[in-house]
Amino acid sequence: MSGAGTVAEQLRTQGPIPKTMRAGVFRDKGVVRVEEVPVPEVGDGELLIKVAACGICGTDIKKIFYRYVEPPQILGHELAGTVVAIGRGVAKWKLGDRVMSFHHIPCATCFYCQRRMFSQCKLYKSTGLTAGFTPNGGGFGEYVKAMPWVVERGIVALPDDVSFEEATFIEPINTIVKAIQKARVAAGETVLVIGCGPIGLQLLMVAALEGARLYTSDPMPTRRAKSLNLGAVESFDPNSGKLGEEIRARTEGRGADAVLVAVAHPAVVIEALAAARPGGRVLLFAANDPVTKIEFPASAVGIDEKEILGSYSAAVDIQESAADLVLGKKLPVMDIVTHRFPLARIQEGLELAAHPTESSLKVLITHE
């Protein structure tokens, strides 16, 4: 056999691919069981990736512990691994490539894509990465299949000096960069990050690259301390009830130019609006479920002209530049990884992510 065209015309595999694999299957509210399930079959234009590591995202926690999706499903979308099978017609990737894969990729031509609202594209909402059942990422399985549109535009090659664990941050960092852009964070501005969990700390890292003056808020002392290590000027305990006063005292009575909310509790939105200056921006990152209702004083928007912004998922047009922040080691992402669990203990890892302790931040599921 010779020639790239010939090679791309048939299924190629890196050694024998097993018929079944282990996966953490979401079975009921709050319950993920490690089960033996079929390895996804690779069709034309598709890839099979052997997962090495997968981060636990707050969205996974909401889906599992609040049952925002219907089981059975194999979740997990912050993943990285190795290409082990290549479908016919694929010439862009080769066996053994170390990669990470996005699970959502837009069509690039529809009404929403033309307006850079990729996450509202119909194809984007059709998950293109699966380990079985209803496609939903699949990184909690040993193997995932990438569908043709993801193979073509949604996979990032990893250099040898970037670990699989580091690469699990490429997808979430993309979402963070998108959020920082939507909040219009600029050099010299005062920015408050509410919530110093994994997402809040990543918002802090990326906002710091823009040259903003950063303050944070979190009820956990260890998380406040971590934010100071990562670039915050000061960090406040929101239980004092004086967060808005503290920020105004440091901004000549105005308030923060931008407030980035990394907490899903509705009451925090009122607190964020109070901490923002007139004409300031409040970016809601964690408030993304279909159930939560949010109330706030109408005057904050109607008179004080404060903006409430939302940001959801990743943006394909910043895929390369956002990935470079991780691949080029421009962000200390590994500083927030505190726990790793093998697949066999995935329920334990999910429980910790859902009910964090003083010592926990980012939790990873490892397959190797």
Q: Is residue 179 part of a domain?
A: no
Q: Is residue 8 part of a domain?
A: yes
Cα–Cα distances in angstroms (integers) from residue 251 to residues 191, 233, 244, 276, in the given order:
11, 13, 11, 10
Q: Is residue 58 part of a domain?
A: yes
Here the CATH number for the domain that contains residue 131 is 3.90.180.10
- DSSP readout, 257-308? EEEEE----HHHHHHHHHHEEEEEEEEESS---SS------HHHHHTS--EE
Confidence (pLDDT) at 292: 85
- Do residues 232 and 255 both lie within one domain? yes
- Do residues 201 and 321 both lie within one domain? no
Beta strands in 29-120 (DSSP E): 31-38, 47-55, 78-86, 98-101
Q: Is residue 257 part of a domain?
A: yes
Q: Of 310, 332, 356, which one is at a domain's C-terminal end? A: 310
Q: What is the domain range of residue 208? A: 184-310
How many Å apart are CA 354 and CA 356, to the nearest integer? Answer: 6
- How many domains does the structure of the chain reveal? 2
- Do residues 243 and 136 both lie within one domain? no
Distance of CA 191 to the CA centre of its chain: 21
- Do residues 193 and 293 both lie within one domain? yes
Confidence (pLDDT) at 289: 81
- Do residues 54 and 147 both lie within one domain? yes
Here the CATH number for the domain that contains residue 260 is 3.40.50.720
The sign of the dihedral angle between the CA atoms of 64, 68, 71, 76 is negative
The sign of the dihedral angle between the CA atoms of 99, 100, 103, 108 is negative
- Do residues 266 and 138 both lie within one domain? no
Cα–Cα distances in angstroms (integers) from residue 43 to residues 15, 31, 146, 151, 318, in the given order:
17, 31, 10, 12, 29
Q: Is residue 191 part of a domain?
A: yes
- Angle formed by the axes of helices 198-209 and 170-182, nearest 10°: 60
Beta strands in the chain (DSSP E): 12-13, 20-28, 31-38, 47-55, 78-86, 98-101, 129-130, 143-146, 155-157, 190-194, 213-217, 234-236, 256-261, 276-284, 307-310, 337-342, 362-366
Q: Residue 124: which of 143, 109, 138, 142 has the closest Cα?
A: 109
- Do residues 342 and 210 both lie within one domain? no
Strand partners, 261: 194, 284
Q: 40 phi and psi, to 5 degrees? A: -55, 135
Q: Is residue 230 part of a domain?
A: yes
Ranges of residues in the chain whose predicted pLDDT is under 50: 1-7
Confidence (pLDDT) at 6: 47
- Do residues 64 and 133 both lie within one domain? yes
- Do residues 189 and 294 both lie within one domain? yes
How many Å apart are CA 275 and CA 255, to the nearest integer? Answer: 5
Q: Is residue 176 part of a domain?
A: no
Confidence (pLDDT) at 8: 53
- Do residues 155 and 252 both lie within one domain? no
- Do residues 332 and 362 both lie within one domain? yes
Helix (H, G, I), strand (E, B) or coil at 319: helix
Q: Is residue 177 part of a domain?
A: no
How many Å apart are CA 182 and CA 118, to the nearest integer? Answer: 13
